Amino acid sequence: MDLLPYLYFLIPCILIGISVYFQKGSPLFLKLLPVLLIINFVVEIIGQWVARKYGTNTTMFNFYMPFLVTAHMFLLREMVVGKMVRKIVLNLLWLYPLICLVNIFFIQGLNDWQSYSYLIGNLIVVGLTVYYFFELFKRPTFINLMKAPAFWICSALLFYYTCSFPFLSLVNLLGDAPLIILNNLSVFLTLLNIMQYILFSIAFLCRVRFRKSQSAKIA
């Protein structure tokens, strides 16, 4: 089976992510992200097989999308410090999947992409990333962003969800679009995934301390 192009970037991202388990003091969100990426890889492989066998994998991703968005909400909750926002997100962690289930079974149905659910989840995730940056720049102490994993993860999520918003939220309206447009959108979403995995990889690596070589020390 030929892998989707962005999976070739996801695989090394996962391998790099394993390094966080060998770093002391890795925060919970950084430890959970590799697990989430592994789940994502498995789902993508299964989804690719389902699409080839049955012609569509929309129903499968209608259930996986709420899980993924909820997981991203939890990661963002671990990054912010505001007690009120953390409490709100805690309630959203069960309320959002419930809304998605209602949408699947009573509104848009199993066979159509759950654009309403994605729209709501997208706005929540983008809002949380913006709040993280608001908190970040309000902190009185200096933070080296180059070595802040949360900064890179939030940047990845903000970039992906903001850029994918116009397409994945309106995908049901694009069914009759010309093939060339659909192909271009597919390429665009592939690039979004690739950029997201690159930023995740930076988040895993930014805390790694590389030892200087002996020759460098002598020099």
- Chain segment 80-96, per-residue pLDDT in tens: 999 999 999 999 999 99
Q: Assess whether pLDDT exceeds 60 at residue 213.
A: no
Contacts of residue 60, Cβ cutoff 8 Å, sequence gap at least 6: 43, 46, 47, 50
Q: Is there a domain that residue 184 lies in?
A: yes
DSSP H helical segments within 2-114, as ranges? 7-17, 28-54, 58-79, 83-102
66 assigned to some structural domain: yes
Residue 189: CB partners within 8 Å, gap ≥ 6? 164, 167, 168
pLDDT category at 176 given cuts 50, 70, 90 is low
pLDDT-derived band at 3, boundaries 50, 70, 90: confident
User: Is 150 a member of any domain?
Assistant: yes
13 inside domain: yes
State mean pLDDT over 27-43: 97
92 lies in a domain?
A: yes
pLDDT in tens, 178-194: 667 767 788 999 999 99
Query: How far out from the chain centre does Cα 59 lie?
Result: 20
Residue 17: inside a domain, yes or no? yes
Determine the structural domain holding residue 73 and report its residue range. Answer: 7-208
Count up the domains in the chain and report the number.
1
| 213 is a domain residue | no
Q: Does residue 188 form part of some domain?
A: yes
Give the percent of the chain with pLDDT over 70. 90
